[in-house]
Structure 1
Amino acid sequence: MKNCLLLFALFGAAPLAHAQQEKSLTGKAKADSLSAEIRWESERIRESMLLRTKYAKTPDAGGNAKLEAKNGFRTFRLGDDISKYPLLVKRAEVGELKYYRNPNENRQIVKKQAKYITYCFYKGKLYHVKIQMAEKEDSEDLLMSFVLEYGNASFSHKQLPWFYWYSNPATIAFNSHSTKSTAEAIIFSNAIYTQKANDAEEVGK
């Protein structure tokens, strides 16, 4: 019996420790990936607001009337409380940011399927909706869906496939960058963006 225990101590514990290490590394990889996504989202949103101030054709409080009326995506309205959407399933949480998806959602965008449609809530309120297409080649369908619904973009980059639609309550930032393998768009609340920025300043004081 003692010999069996000794053998387990020498050999049985090693695979167990290795499995725990792999699990830890997998968890770290997921956390790093999520952190990278959050940084990318924050940069795109901040960039959108800076471009609105500097270059947009409609930088006033008006902007795109259809986007102002919609203020969201499909039946989701920016600023809504999470309690209004019981079918959403939480996928991740980082501080006050909580990310949800609906596993049964229709992800059809024009003729293509979106890879993910993710709903981000800040302090329990819908902050932004991110649409990610499965392939970069599907970017035209995603871009077309916005043009059909809201008309031409308020601002588009001269050299890069970046398009922005602005309104008082909401902004759409579309991006199909060569360094990413997928086209993405973020529909976000201007008010919650400002609230989040103000909260960050208060914490920094």
Structure 2
Amino acid sequence: MNTLTRYPFLLLLGFCAACSSNDKPEANASTATSAPTAAVEKAPPTNANAAIDEKNGFRTYHFGDDISMCPDLEYFMNLGKDVRIYHMKKSKENMKIGDAPLESISYSFYKGKFYETQLDIVGGYTGLDKVIAALESLYGKPTEVGKISKWASWTGQKAKAVATMANSSRDARLTITSLPISKQIEEEEKAASQEGGSKAKADL
């Protein structure tokens, strides 16, 4: 009588060991196949209005463009020392946003760099509603909306658009601004103000 015949429990132990060794490769295979799937997952967007950053400007112009790159713009006026306002040549400007007619479009340049556009919209609240609808189709839902007065804004990391009623006017207004250049303007104006205050203090 051989050993296995005398001790049948050894057969059972051998069988269990075989099952255990067969299970391990399957677990490893599962782990190996799941790892690449996790690696290609895309992170959710951190900017709710990424579309306005992709545009980063107005129509064919991008914020930061030098005035020399905009031959269709005509000088209109100065606004302070470093800001110049331009208008598009009338024959080349589309005076509509979606279904809303426009009264005027201005392009603002700071130290020769495009940083803001302002559009006056005909039609009061009706025109404002049309512009907001057009912007929603382009940028998606607004970042903020007015709870009392009628307005909406779309804010990204690079640019911001605000549609609202113009002050002391029956017309609506859309303003699209470069956030980095606006911050630059604010910082430089603050520095200039502090410098002027220091000089005045020395004279008193």
Map of 1:63 onto structure 2: 48
Distance in 2, matches of 1:177 and 1:97, equals 21
Unpaired runs of 5+ in structure 2?
A: 1-44, 195-204
Whether 1:173 aligns to 2:158 is no
Structure 1 residue aligned with 2:114, among 126, 135, 142? 126
For residues 167 and 69 of structure 2, the distance between their equivalents in structure 1, rounded to whole angstroms, comes to: 37
Unaligned 5+ runs, structure 1: 1-59
- Mapped to 2, the partners of 1:147 and 1:75 lie a distance apart of 19
1:140-189, Cα deviation, whole Å (9 max, x unpaired) = 22111111101110111211111110101000111126842110011000
In structure 2, which of residues 160, 181, 195 is the aligned counterpart of residue 192 of structure 1?
A: 181
Q: Aligned residues: percent identity?
A: 26
Change (3 A) 1:128 1:61: farther
CA contact (8 A) 2:99 2:131 kept: no
CA distance in 2, matches of 1:109, 1:155: 20
Equivalence for 1:81: 66
Aligned residue for 2:191, secondary structure, equals helix
Shift of 1:109: 1.6
Q: Which stretches of structure 1, 4 residues or more, deviate above 3 A after TM superposition?
A: none
Structure with bigger RCO (C-alpha 8 Å, 6+ apart): 1
- Measured against aligned partners, the alpha-carbon deviations of 1:115-161 in whole angstroms (never above 9, x if no partner) come to 11110011111110111112313212211111110111011121111
Give the TM-score taking structure 2 as reference length: 0.67
Q: Deviations over 1:75-125 (max 9, x none)?
A: 111111111101101111122111111122011222232111110011111
